[in-house]
Structure 1
Amino acid sequence: MLLSVLSFTAAAVLLVVLPGPDTLVVVRGLARGGRGGGVRTSLGVLCGLLVWVIAAVLGLSALLQASEIGFEILKIVGACYLVWMGLQSLRSLLRPVSEAAETTAKSSWLNRSGGFFSGFLTDILNPKIGVLFITFLPGFVPPGYSVAWTTLSLGLLYVALTALYCAVLIAASTKISTWMQTPRIRRRLDGLAGLTLLGFGVRMATEH
């Protein structure tokens, strides 16, 4: 069991730190809402992962993997959501800096509530995470151990590693959080995040 856990941890760390939509949406949350925005977005990401872990344990992810139509529908919805977020970020480039700053102040309540859902929906609408868990986690279950309970334990370990990674991102951004929220800098970050999110969305929609 110890060898399986160590092997899983090494593989999971590589998956967690690999840049993807989760990392980007947390950085976007930091740029838009500072440290608090990053925390709320990270909590949304973690809750989305937790839902997929439970689905993997219950076998729901296996059903998703077996249903080609269901997988494609969820993939397209997830891709559309990423594209929508990308377009929302790019909209800031069309507004003057002063107007963008004023809009940010007026919509701060939306940023506070929307950060969590941005992170949550980014994960929950990505069917590849569910397929990853149903194919990845059971491979580290040693013979003689309960598949369900061991899969759950490994899944929770994956969520914990993701939480640690998000905490490192947030801690590293503390000193530059004010700089990131400067209207001119935030516009540039929003533009970069928007283009990247559009890229992720297009790739998700076209990958097989």
Structure 2
Amino acid sequence: MSKILFVMTGVDHWTLADGTKHPTGFWAEEAVAPFTAFKAAGHEITVATPGGVVPTVDRGSLAPEVNGGQEGADEVAAALASLSELQHPIPLEDVDLDAYAAVFYPGGHGPMEDLAVDPASGRILIDALDSGKPLAVVCHGPAALLAATNADGTNAFAGYRVAAFTNAEETQAGLAGRARWLLETRLVEAGVDVQVGEPWVPNVVVDRNLVTGQNPASSAPLAAEVLKKLA
């Protein structure tokens, strides 16, 4: 079967407007659900992060209240612990895109801190887009699209229909008023056509080889779309 590249945040915080460092990283469900689906389908996964640092899970994403109760939280934590690939990431700078059949970006607030301004990630995104390979990005992962700029300064994803974590969801999560910038707003400013769905409900948008999901609940259906494209 194929190899899939997981591009993940390398930070453990998100700097808020007042300079406070909000603890974060990647969101557990957004890694676990696609990871599990891809491996069950027989695909091999390589994790890449800025500098090759081991990615940090957002502890909030392991809480019972965001996993349907304690049983769900225990299942996610156990699944996460079984993903040995997370402990052996390669540096983004060393990625050879030709080795992979698809690219996947999970979210969490971490990408708002590092991938949104990471030139190596930006090049991977542009190359993946141009290659026609499935490129999947979920929740706050689309912050990485902001670093995908063309030589003339325009965004490579301008005009693409994209789902991403919305201003309404950020407000309901209690962080919109403390953020330096909001993902939906910044994507729109870059010319991206953000398709806003209902808060916290699965919303997956497919535009050419780009597959995006709005929130954690979109992770599993997004992975299913990628598997259809790989079939």
TM-score between the two structures when normalised by the length of structure 1: 0.24
- More relative contact order, 1 or 2 (CA 8 Å, 6+ apart): 1
TM-score between the two structures when normalised by the length of structure 2: 0.22
Q: Which has the larger radius of gyration?
A: 1
Q: Which has the higher helix share?
A: 1
Q: Which has the higher strand share?
A: 2
